[in-house]
Amino acid sequence: MAKFDKIAVLTKIGQTGMVPVFYHKDVEVAKQVVKACYEGGVRAFEFTNRGDFAQEVFGEVSKFVARECPEMAFGVGTVVDPATAAIYLQLGADFVVGPLFNPEVAKVCNRRLVPYTPGCGTVSEVGFAQEVGCDLCKVFPGDVLGPKFIKGLLAPLSWSKLMVTGGVEPTKDNLTSWIKAGVFSVGMGSKLFPKEVIAAKDWAFITAKCREALGYIAEARK
C-alpha cells in the first residue's frame, strides 16, 4: 500500500518541483541512487518499469525507502496497462506514471486514490486525462514539444498541473525555461544520472546535482 495519500504525494512533487526518473537492474545500485537523491532534497522519485523483473527490484527498493528515506514518495514509471499498475500498487507505489494515457490505468489507481500521471502530447489528451481524474499530467516528450507548448496549453487550460519529461537538463537555463513556462514539476532521467557516475558509484555527485537543480527551480519560481 502507498505510504502517502494522493494530496501528500502531489504536494511533494509540486513543492520540490523535480522528480528524478531512474532504472537499474541492480537493487543495491538503485537503493544508493534513491538515497543520494533524498539527501539532495528530492522528495518524489520515479523508478521506471523498464527491465526484466523490474517489479522485484522495485519491491526491495520500496522497503528500503520506507526505512531510510521516510519522507520520500516512491513511484513507478513506464506503466502502460492496468495489470502492471496493480502489481506496483501492491508493492507500495505512491504514484504511477506512464508514457501514454490509458484510462484503464486511471481506474485502478483511482480505486486506491493513488495519483496517475499519464503521458500526454496534445491539449485533448490532457483534457481527457483530467476528465478521468488525473490531477497531474506528464507532457512527453518534452524536448519535442518544448516550453512554448506548455505556455500555449496553459492559456486556455489554466487550471492544469503539468510535469514535463524528456529533454530536461539539470542546468539553470533549461530548468528556468520550463518553470517560467508554467510547469508544476519536471521529470529528469539520464542527464541527472550519467552512466560514468553510476559506474563509479559516485553517489555524492548525484546528491550535489540534485541540490543544484532544486536550487535553480526554487530561484526560477521567485
User: Which CATH number fits the domain that encloses residue 141?
Assistant: 3.20.20.70
Domain of 18, in residue numbers: 6-207
Give the 3-state DSSP-derived string for the chain, with helices as H, strands as E and coil as C.
CCCCCHHHHHHHHHHHCEEEEECCCCHHHHHHHHHHHHHCCCCEEEEECCCCCHHHHHHHHHHHHHHHCCCCEEEEECCCCHHHHHHHHHCCCCCEECCCCCHHHHHHHHHCCCCEECEECCHHHHHHHHHCCCCEEEECCHHHHHHHHHHHHHCCCCCCEEEEECCCCCCHHHHHHHHHHCCCEEEECCCCCCHHHHHHCCHHHHHHHHHHHHHHHHHHCC
213 belongs to a structural domain: no
pLDDT-based confidence at 180, cuts 50/70/90? Answer: very high
Domain count within the chain: 1
181 belongs to a structural domain: yes
pLDDT of residue 202: 98
Mean pLDDT of the chain: 97
214 belongs to a structural domain: no
146 belongs to a structural domain: yes
* pTM of the model as a whole: 0.97
